[in-house]
Amino acid sequence: MNYNALSLFSSAGVAETYFDKHGIHVKVAAELLPQRAEIYKHLYPSVKMFQGDITEQENFKKIIEAAKEEKCDFIIATPPCQGMSTAGLKKKDDPRNCLIIDVVKAIKLLNPKFVIIENVPEILQTKIEIDGEWIYIDTYLRSELGDKYEFNTNNVVNAMYYGVAQSRERCVYLLAAKSMQIKWEFPKPSKKITTMRDAIGDLPSLDPNVTDISSEELKKLFPDYEKKKKEGLAVSKWHYPPRHKYRHVVAMMHTPEGCSAWSNETYYPTLSDGTKSKGYKNTYKRQWWDKPAYTVTKYTSRIGSQENGHPGRAIIDSPDEETRLWSDARVLSILELMRVSSLPDDWNIPDDASSNVIREILGEGVPPRLLEHALIELEQLIDEKRKI
pLDDT tens-place values along the chain, 388 residues long: 999 999 999 999 999 999 999 999 999 999 999 999 999 999 999 999 999 999 999 999 999 999 999 999 999 999 986 555 544 444 556 667 899 999 999 999 999 999 999 999 999 999 999 999 999 999 999 999 999 999 999 999 999 999 999 999 999 999 999 999 999 999 999 999 999 999 999 999 999 999 999 999 999 999 999 999 999 999 999 999 999 999 999 999 999 999 999 999 999 999 888 889 888 899 999 999 999 999 999 999 999 999 999 999 999 999 999 999 999 999 999 999 999 999 999 999 999 999 999 999 999 999 999 999 999 999 999 998 888 7
| pLDDT at site 89 | 46
| pLDDT at site 76 | 98
DSSP labels for 38-104? Answer: HHHHHH-TTSEEEES-TTSHHHHHHHHHHHHHTT--EEEE----TTTSTTS---TT-GGGGHHHHHH
- CA nearest neighbour of 101 among 136, 133, 140: 140
Dihedral through CA 39, CA 299, CA 155, CA 175, nearest 10?
A: -20
Q: What does the domain layout of the chain look like in residue ranges?
A: 3-192+368-387, 204-332
Catalytic residue of the set 81, 98, 171, 259: 81
72 among known catalytic residues: no
Ramachandran region, residue 13 (left: φ > 0; alpha: ψ -120 to 50; beta: rest): left
- CA nearest neighbour of 334 among 210, 198, 206: 206
Under DSSP, the state recorded for 331 is B
**Own/partner pairs, 196-199, CB within 8 angstroms, 24+ separation:** 196/165, 196/287, 196/288, 196/289, 196/290, 196/291, 196/292, 196/293, 196/311, 196/340, 197/289, 197/290, 198/165, 199/165, 199/293, 199/336, 199/339, 199/340
| pLDDT at site 387 | 80
All residues at 6 or more sequence positions from 324 whose CB lies less than 8 Å from its CB, including other chains: 254, 256, 314, 316, 317, 318
What is the distance between the alpha carbons of residues 367 and 343, in angstroms, rounded to a whole number?
8
Which CATH topology does 3-192+368-387 take? Rossmann fold (3.40.50)
What is the distance between the alpha carbons of residues 44 and 25, in angstroms, rounded to a whole number?
11
